[in-house]
Homo-oligomer: A and B are copies of this chain.
Amino acid sequence: MKKNGVREIARLANVSIGTVDRALHGRRGISDSTRDRILAIAENLGYKPNLAARALSVQERAVRIAICIPREIHFYFDQLRQGMLAEARSFEHLGIETVYRPTPRLGIDELATVTELVRKGDINALIIAPGNPESLSSVIDEAEKGGIRVVCVDTDAPQSSRSTVVCVDGAVSGMLAGELLGRFLEPGACVAVATGMLAAEDHRKKVDGFCRTFPQVCPNGRVVEVIEDKEDHDIAFEKSFGVFTRCKDLKGIYVSTGNCLPVFRALNVCGLAGKIKVVATELFAEMLPYFKNGTIFASITGRARAQGQVAMRLAIDYFLHGNPLPPRHLLVPHIAMRSNLHLFPEVRSSMMGVRNW
């Protein structure tokens, strides 16, 4: 392999490498004629700069990307973190560094943690899953003003000036659930929705999307109850148990909260497993039995790992290649059903060796 670098170009053009550099980078202080001549030679030679040498020479400062998401054992954020760190690792050769500053739980201590990260001023980007978007707005604005690109993940902070957000649109999840359940059920069917807390934007959007879509798909279909469990196991069980006993003609339910197990238990207790068709959200090992026994027909997942990966990648491509950050990046939610369950890493390990899938 012959070497063709600035030196070779210089030799062929009978100039010095300094002149070649000026020509190649369109710097001033060079006559048009020599520049054109040099560029022609470079082109002709198929010159491609050695980027390792360039990196070494210009000594570009490492890009530091901070991650601030809940530490919660909750599998969701674990996946999110894994996606980010795995992606970052592939680019550490190029000077991508991560700073992992988890909060103890969603929303807890996040303002303090973020503020500290931003004020310290040694990071280039901040990826955050905001638990309380409103309370973070001002510090996010401060960060952006200070040149720190803020990437929201999972949840948006729409009032802030964050650079971008990577998420699954809750409305789409809800609409998909509505469309599926609407197709699964006969016209005129009554359904219910179980949610966490309607105060949370994502939960509200899911419920809204569902309630809007279901009647469109299922003629005369009606959403007769919205159960709000406040993320509490007991409330979830009691309220759903109440609905199942009260509402005798209930045909389906959209369980739009991760706190779904109590609802399924209530179904089992009422002997309605498989009778009332369930579309759920997210996916974790404990849900497997309910897929198996036919309680859950489908579940719409938020693709935490993919979200983390994309968020990190957007930040990296922004700094490394100057790719602009899109206002938002919406992922296509995945629909988990019995047929494709084995493809989801969230549950694959739990399915090992289990027959009859």
Contacts and interface: CB of A to CB of B under 8 A. Distances in A.
A213 B320 contact: no
A291 B171 CA distance: 19
Given A1-B61, A343-B332, A179 B338 contact: yes
Contacts of A320: 90, 93
Interface centre among A1, A169, A183, A334 (most CB of B within 10 A): A183
Nearest to A172: B340
Nearest to A217: B338
Interface string A154-190: 0000000000000001001001101110011010000
A317 B179 contact: no
A203 B229 CA distance: 45
A28 to B, nearest CB: 27
Contact of A176 (B93, B213, B339, B344): B339
Given A51-B93, A179-B337, A330 B343 contact: yes
A352 interface: no
B178 A339 contact: yes
Nearest to A175: B339
A188 to B, nearest CB: 14
A191 B179 CA distance: 21
Given A321-B90, A343-B172, A334 B337 contact: no
A294 to B, nearest CB: 10
Contacts of A213: 339
Contacts of A317: 90
Interface residues of A, number: 43
A95 B52 contact: yes
Contacts of A297: 183
A333 interface: yes
A56 B331 CA distance: 38
A198 interface: no
Given A93-B320, A320-B93, A321-B90, A175 B56 contact: no
Interface in A87-109: 89-90, 92-95
A354 interface: no
A245 to B, nearest CB: 26
Interface in A277-325: 297, 316-317, 320-321
A317 B175 CA distance: 37
Contact of A172 (B52, B95, B180, B339): B339
30 contacts: A51-B52, A51-B93, A51-B94, A51-B95, A52-B52, A52-B53, A52-B55, A52-B56, A53-B56, A55-B93, A56-B56, A89-B321, A90-B321, A93-B320, A94-B94, A169-B343, A172-B340, A172-B343, A176-B339, A179-B337, A179-B338, A179-B339, A183-B183, A183-B184, A186-B186, A213-B339, A330-B343, A332-B344, A334-B334, A335-B335
Interface of A: 1, 50-53, 55-56, 61, 89-90, 92-95, 169, 172, 175-176, 178-180, 183-184, 186, 209, 213, 297, 316-317, 320-321, 330-335, 337-340, 343-344
The 3 A-B residue pairs with the shortest CB-CB distance in the complex, in nearest-first order:
A175-B339, A52-B55, A52-B56
